[in-house]
Amino acid sequence: MKRTVEPKVLYFGTPVVLISTRNPDGSTNLAPMSSAWWLGYHAMLGMGTSAQTVKNLVDRPELILNLVDPPMVAALDRIALLTGSEEMSDSKRARGYRYEPDKFAAAGLTRTTGPVTGLDAVEESPITLEGRIDAIHPIGGPEEHLCALAMKVEQVQVREELLMSNDRYIDPLRWDPLIMKFTEYFAGGTPAYESSLARGWQMPPLQIG
């Protein structure tokens, strides 16, 4: 029998992505997010409008999506509660967020230059997608502060060992994306790492075993 409930979050399971965008001073902001899906060579990204990533993309629409695999989870978690904006909401502050202008260093990740955008990409990322935002759509009412960003993918770079023989396909047996499910990290269907974000959202601990 089903019960009618009001879950705190609806993260049923989506790939984790690190987004590179350009700050007003020309430096690259790196931000983790997990509300992303693809159709053809288009991506739709869901984010809060107060995020530095969204502020950057309003004025400078170029971006890189650095897809994340399980070996990157510790680096990702190190910046899960960091923000590139000195201004943050009370709710973010209460969850433990703090300002950090250099999230590459904080995560321990390596910079490499994206050939299309010139932004700093993540060398450790096995798949990078470069392009630009075509449109930004508000979601819900103004009090929700949410938006959907439509991206046109202009170039895809994939680590060679993930490619099938003709280079037109990524091998689904070799590509294992890091998934965020209800603010917890999963790889291959099992928990991958203790999530700082889950603790910030005061999610109940996982009952494993």
Domain extent listing, the chain: 17-200
pLDDT bin (cut points 50, 70, 90) of residue 83 is: confident
Give the percent of the chain with pLDDT over 70: 100
3-state helix, strand, coil in the chain (%, to 5): 15, 40, 45
Tell me: pLDDT of 209 over 70: no
DSSP-assigned beta bridge partners for residue 121: 112
The dihedral over CA atoms of 161, 167, 173, 176, expressed in degrees to the nearest 10, equals 70
Domain 17-200 top-level CATH class: mainly beta
- pTM here is 0.92
- pLDDT of 10 strictly over 70: yes
Q: Which two tokens stand for residue 114?
A: 């994206």
Query: pLDDT digit string (tens) for 14-39?
Result: 999 999 999 999 999 999 999 999 99
Q: How many CB atoms lie within 10 A of CB 83?
A: 23
Q: Which residue do the tokens 């990702």 mark?
A: 76
Mean pLDDT of the chain, nearest integer: 92
Query: Is a pLDDT exceeding 80 seen at residue 90?
Result: no
Identify the top-confidence range among 2-11, 81-90, 126-135, 197-206: 126-135
On whether the CB atoms of residues 146 and 44 are closer than 8 A, the answer is no
- Dump pLDDT digits (tens) for 64-76: 999 999 999 999 9
pLDDT of residue 204: 87
